């Protein structure tokens, strides 16, 4: 049981519950859409900290897409970052490593995130 992450406990009241309630809500919503990426992000507990368009604990996926989508090797980079964690790229709060995320799921999520970039 990895959650709540220490950063959640420290300052972000509601993060712990957010991980569960938001994920449930988002997965339920995603089930009605064609978005496999969003459903996967829900299943892998990303949505407790990330939303597509608005900042939550972590940066919005759309902002990540905007920053990386034109960089070569971005998908591999993001997939690696998800599994190893990240700090100092977007602000003071670090992202905990997600070691239980498989390589294949990490890469699927990375491609999905990059696909959110607006032209």
Contact call for residues 79 and 109 (beta carbons, < 8 A):
yes
Judged by CB, which is closer to ligand HEC: 28, or 77? 77
Distance CA 97, CA 2 (A): 10
Q: Are 61 and 77 in contact (CB under 8 A)?
A: no
Question: From the CB of 32, what's the least distance to ligand HEC, in Å?
Answer: 21
Pick the binder of ligand HEC from 23, 30, 39, 46 (CB under 6 A): 46
Residues lying near ligand HEC in the complex (CB under 6 A) are found at: 5, 8, 41, 44-46, 48-50, 57-59, 64, 78, 81-82, 86-91, 93-96, 98, 101, 109, 113
């Amino acid at each position: 049981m990895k959650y709540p992450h220490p950063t959640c406990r420290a300052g972000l009241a509601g993060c712990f519950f957010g991980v569960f309630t938001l994920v449930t809500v988002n997965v339920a919503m995603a089930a009605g859409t064609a978005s496999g990426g969003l459903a996967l992000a829900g299943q892998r507990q990303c949505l407790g900290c990330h939303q597509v368009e608005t900042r939550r604990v972590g940066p919005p996926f759309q902002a990540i897409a905007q920053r990386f989508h034109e960089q070569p090797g971005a998908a591999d980079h993001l997939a690696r970052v998800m599994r190893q964690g990240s700090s100092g790229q977007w602000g003071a709060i670090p992202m905990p490593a997600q070691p239980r995320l498989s390589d294949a799921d990490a890469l699927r999520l990375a491609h999905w995130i990059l696909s959110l970039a607006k032209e």
